Chains A and B, each alone.
Chain A
Amino acid sequence: MTSRRDFFKAAALTGGAVAAASVSKVAMSALPEPVLQTSPDTMPPLVPNTGRPYNPVVTLNGWTLPWRMNQGVKEFHLVAEPVLREMAPGMTAHLWGYNGQSPGPTIEVVEGDRVRIFVTNKLPEHTSVHWHGQRLPNGMDGVTGLNQPGIPAGKTFVYEFEARRPGTFMYHPHADEMVQMAMGMMGFWVTHPKNKHPLISDVDRDYCFLLNAYDIDPGAYTPKIMTMLDFNLWTWNSRLFPGISPLVARKNDRVRLRVGNLTMTNHPIHIHGHEFEVTGTDGGPTPKAGRWPEVTVDIAVGQMRQMEFIASEEGDWAFHCHKSHHTMNAMGHDVPTMIGVDHRGMTKKITKLIPDYMVMGERGMADMSEMQMPLPDNTLPMMTGEGPFGSVEMGGMFSMLKVRKDQKPGDYSDPGWYKHPEGTIAYEFTGELAKPARSSGAGQPSMKLAQKQQPHIELKVRKPTGHAGH
């Protein structure tokens, strides 16, 4: 009885979570009430009030699934269903997910917990759940056809196993996998250590998110499920910058980042102003001797990485994937390069044919973030997000690490823009420019070309200044 009340209490904690009224109470009488979440905001950590205690994680633009204790077993209820996901203000995608969201809620348990997960399928086709990285009975591994029949549409299956080792895991379907993952079905799983673990430190902030990618035509809402590599939306937890929450820390907090990659390419995740160590992978905690400081960690397809660092430097630090296309938002990959192309006389001609035409790309693409031009519906501009000094010229897999000395412990709210101490911002040099000395002999080839391919060309320097006429 108490567990049920606790369950609702937990549900209330997640802020805006509601019990699904559409599921028949009778049919669900033996199941934990499914909890839905429709807000795209980052929810505060779900502090456990039943079961073993642990230090909860914060899911970036996501939430943790409440549970109920049933005779010592932690019971969760996942509902696989079509969802609407706001990917950033101004763009909503029609995805498939769990309990109202894509990705689904994070499941947090403690090493040694007996876990029972009810999975109700409200998709139009069968599904299954694979518990990526976990040690469990073979029949619970969730591969359709191999370990179990698919969960038919409208049915509920039960998975039950012990969370045997602590670490960072994922869950995703292993049925019509290409489609269901392209549609956004995935979620995070964290198993906290039961006791103090020599390789797992206590941290002040523990963030987790999944890397995912979508291909949604500008103006459309549903991802193209056949796309293999040419995705146009690179997201963290199905959110795009500037719609991704910042990661907030109090100065000198120990911060852990847990990142899983469920896209079809690797992502070099890069942090500014700090170095981190990879303290764990899908395989478990990394031995201390195998840790080294880095500012970028490449996360391969299907992998998890756990990084830790001390947030010792105050400021608003960029945190992003280092593949620059992944920080752009939707764009055309076949658009020709216009840099340096003389447009004199052309613009007038084109506007005669296409009255609202504007020249773009002649000086590069930064124009994009300066011009406010109408775009197709449900489309985010390529490089946006206003910072205190103008456009951040980023999109997609980009966020910020915001370190403040006065951020309260447990406070995850955005502290606003960093106020730079006097004299700590790059400034314009206004003095006289001296002519740089250049060595005439520098840069000779170490081996001579047997055959000259081209006559020597005087290099034409393209001045990055615009010219009149547009």
Chain B
Amino acid sequence: MNTAPAVQKTSIALAVLLLAGCATVNINESIEQTNQELNGFTKGQLSLVQTDAQRQAMAAKASDILKEPLSQPAAVELMLTHSPQFQTVLAESWAQAALAAQGGRIHNPVFAFERLRIRDELELGRLLSFGLLDLLSFPARQGIARTQIDRAQLQLTGNVVDQVTQVRQAWVDAVAAQQAHTYAQQVFESAQTSAELARRMQEVGNFTRLQRARQHSFYADAAVNLAATRHKATSSREALVRMLGLSSEQAAQLKLPERLPDLPEAPKAPSEVAKRGEDRLDVRMAKQGFEASVKSQGLGNIASFLDIEAGVRYDTDFENDTGERSNKKGYEIELALPIFDWGGMKRDAMNANTLAAANRLEATLRNAQSTLRESYSAYRTTYDIARHYRDEILPLKQTIADENLLRYNGMFIGVFELLADSRDQVNTVVQAINAQADFWRADAALQATVVGKPMTVSVSGAAANAGGNAGGGH
């Protein structure tokens, strides 16, 4: 009779333990944490839109943002708060964290009920059983779950960095392509003017058909180039629209600034970007991975040997003839005998995973600095090239244009040479825009690399002698 309260006590204790140890996930806290971690990167604009009210507020904000030409920070803000694609990332991260939390809970106890009749005897068997190891390893598993939640948190942060970097680069692509299109339009106009003038020259007998055809062929080529740049402007704009998750109406409202931002006065110094290392995202993820491995190895060592089921039994026998009923109380332990599998393979795998995680951590630590150096080199090189365009090449081309105009004034060259030269100058401007765009892409990549999401960008070296032989009439 006095065993019953003991069982009850045990049950209560278990329940309390279950409730207390519950690992829970609050997505808003998690987003807040990412906001804090990436302060300076997302500017704290991250939020998961869940309610209709929030949704409406976001739409209003989006239409506010879209009233002005979209700057790069505004593009980031718009994506963080508005893009369904990005909200998907957030929601998925929530799901991942919730699943991780699930792993930290104790399996529900199993209640078995038996009803057996032997002749005139009725036996009712009740068994409340739970995995003893489950219970014993509870603190360890809880720790693992927490690690995994933390990991999901880091994953979320990483995804945010990824998406922000992508939107930044998409914005750079779109603005640069639009700018290049504007200039291609100028080349086209120059060629068109040459062709029209040549037509009139031939009309009054001052040009041969050959001379006219030459001018006209520049025009024909320029038309192809214009069409290609127009499509590129459209496609990169649409890529941005998709990143921002704009509807067709919103896409129609989207205005891009006329030009890329000016280069910063001075490039970031290597010391400015190198100071972070230990708290980089990739390093922290590798650390988490390692810790999770170590923790699960501790658990796995036990679990690989034993699988213990414990149960509380409370059976009742009814004897029909006597009408007597008697209760049996006791407990039951179920033990898997490690005859065929002593868990060695499992432990090997654990060991191997931990070893891998340890090495991954080490590799990440080493790579972190290397990727930072590479990313900085890309950043610095594109900065220097873009600045070289700004300070050297464009002024030189301007000098050439100025001097050519003076030569035209003195009738040393004709209007066709002047127009051919203007086409040359414009092609250089396009190269300069490309160099500037390269810089802003590298800048976005460097920002991502600094927080620990290594990104590489290609450094094209711009020039590639484009437009060098666009000239006519020379």
* Residues of A near any B CB (own CB < 8 A): 218-219, 330-332, 334-343, 346, 349-350, 352-354, 356-358, 360-361, 365, 368, 371, 373-376, 379, 381-382, 462
Contact = CB atoms under 8 A, between A and B. Distances in A.
A340 to B, nearest CB: 5
Interface stretch (B387-395, B409-417, B459-467): B409-417
Nearest to B412: A332
A335 B404 CA distance: 13
A338 B415 contact: yes
Interface stretch (B200-208, B336-344, B375-383): B200-208
A332 B411 contact: yes
Contacts of B411: 331-332, 335, 360-361, 365, 368, 382
A335 B412 contact: yes
Given A368-B411, A374-B409, 20 more contacts: A219-B403, A332-B411, A332-B412, A335-B411, A335-B414, A336-B206, A336-B211, A338-B201, A340-B206, A342-B200, A349-B189, A350-B193, A350-B418, A353-B186, A357-B408, A361-B411, A375-B410, A376-B406, A379-B406, A382-B410
B410 A381 contact: yes
Contacts, number: 101
A373 B411 CA distance: 11
B412 A341 contact: no
Given A340-B206, A353-B189, A335 B413 contact: yes
Contacts of A332: 407, 410-414
Given A338-B206, A340-B204, A357-B405, A350 B410 contact: no
B193 A462 contact: no
Nearest to A334: B414
A376 B206 contact: no
Contacts of B455: none
A346 B190 CA distance: 10
Contacts of B409: 358, 360, 371, 373-375
A374 B407 CA distance: 9
Q: Shortest 9 CB-CB distances between A and B: which pairs?
A: A332-B412, A373-B409, A335-B414, A376-B406, A375-B410, A340-B204, A349-B193, A337-B206, A353-B422
Contact of B406 (A330, A335, A375, A382): A375
B403 A376 contact: yes
22 contacts: A219-B406, A331-B411, A332-B407, A334-B413, A335-B412, A335-B413, A336-B206, A338-B201, A339-B206, A341-B197, A342-B200, A343-B197, A350-B193, A352-B189, A353-B189, A353-B419, A353-B422, A354-B401, A356-B405, A357-B408, A375-B406, A376-B407
Contacts of A382: 410-411
B196 interface: yes
A360 B407 CA distance: 12
Interface string B166-204: 000000000000000000001001101100110011001
A352 to B, nearest CB: 7
A337 to B, nearest CB: 5
Contacts of A365: 411
A88 to B, nearest CB: 14
Interface string B239-270: 00000000000000000000000000000000
Most buried by A among B409, B414, B415: B409
A355 to B, nearest CB: 9
A212 B211 CA distance: 35
A334 B413 CA distance: 7
B292 to A, nearest CB: 64
Contacts of B193: 346, 349-350, 353
B414 A336 contact: yes
B64 to A, nearest CB: 35
Contacts of A356: 405
Contacts of A374: 406, 409
B416 A341 contact: no
Contacts of A336: 201, 206-207, 211, 414-416
B405 to A, nearest CB: 6
A356 B408 CA distance: 11
Contacts of A376: 403, 406-407, 410, 412
Nearest to B405: A356
A303 B204 CA distance: 43
A456 B211 CA distance: 25
A374 to B, nearest CB: 6
Contacts of A342: 200, 204
Contacts of B415: 336, 338, 350, 357
Interface in B398-448: 401, 403, 405-416, 418-419, 422, 426
A348 B324 CA distance: 117
Given A353-B422, A356-B405, A330 B412 contact: yes
A110 B194 CA distance: 64
A310 to B, nearest CB: 40
A337 B422 CA distance: 20
Contacts of B422: 353-354
Interface in B76-114: none
Nearest to A331: B411
A342 B403 CA distance: 26
Contacts of A335: 411-414
B186 A341 contact: no
A371 B415 CA distance: 17
Nearest to A365: B411
B182 to A, nearest CB: 12
Given A219-B403, A336-B206, A336-B207, A379 B418 contact: no
A430 B422 CA distance: 47
A331 B418 CA distance: 15
Contacts of B189: 349, 352-353
A382 B419 CA distance: 22
Given A353-B190, A353-B422, A357-B405, A331 B412 contact: yes
A343 B203 CA distance: 13
A358 B413 CA distance: 13
Contacts of A353: 186, 189-190, 193, 419, 422, 426
Contacts of A339: 206
A219 B409 CA distance: 13
Contacts of A341: 197, 200-201, 204, 206
B205 to A, nearest CB: 8
Nearest to B205: A340
